[in-house]
Amino acid sequence: MSLINLQNQSNLELASLPDGLLAIFTAKIDSNLAKTQLENLAKSDLENISAYFLTTESGSSSSDRFLSDSNRELINQIEILKSKSNLGENLVFLKKEGLNFKYLVHKENPENQYDWRPSIQEFAVNYVSTTPDDKGLWKWGQIVPETGEYLCVDCGFIDNFEAGAVFPVCEVCLSGEPAGPSGAEIGFWERV
């Protein structure tokens, strides 16, 4: 069985999701995260990235962005969600090509009081940018150019990243996301 669009209860095949970058919120239909972020996403269109909400529940939604995956057809494509019986609230970034879904990075428990729409849009911009900013710093969503240790200039946290991975938000100070000292549009990872 395919995904169900909760607005019109129609079946939606995985192949019909657009190719390219996908931002997927996992949330319950009536959650605060779903309510606030659906309102935020309705304000304007996103460019070069598509955003959806995913649940295993059945029900209805006024938004065509809300999909039910009760058979876990899409969920099982996402390694970090595959083994979870309760999806919880997440923001997962994927790259889709045909029927192949490549996991890029995720944020657990995205805060619902923030508007994630600008961060999602900036992630799409960052993902295709192959150069650091004018200070030599890398942003959330950019691809790690070489394996090694990187310093978050906002808090001093050092993490090791593999070449080809996607720079995450800083797990200590949350740089890269709306709650952090640097938003998604500002570089904060420095090669050490």
Q: Of 91, 111, 128, which closes a domain? A: 128
Q: Is the domain of 38 the same as that of 106?
A: yes
pLDDT band, residue 80 (cuts 50/70/90): confident
pLDDT at residue number 1:
54
Q: Is the domain of 58 the same as that of 11?
A: yes
**CATH code assigned at 78:** 3.40.30.10
pLDDT band, residue 2 (cuts 50/70/90): confident
pLDDT digits (tens, 9 = 90+) for 139-192: 999 999 999 999 999 999 999 999 999 999 999 999 999 989 999 999 999 999
Query: For residue 117, what are the CA distances in angstroms to 131, 184, 185?
Result: 23, 11, 13
User: Which structural domain range is residue 173 located in?
Assistant: 129-192
Q: Is the domain of 115 the same as that of 64?
A: yes
Q: What's this model's pTM, rounded to 2 decimal places?
A: 0.94
- In angstroms, the CA 58 to CA 123 distance is 30
Q: Is the domain of 105 the same as that of 141?
A: no
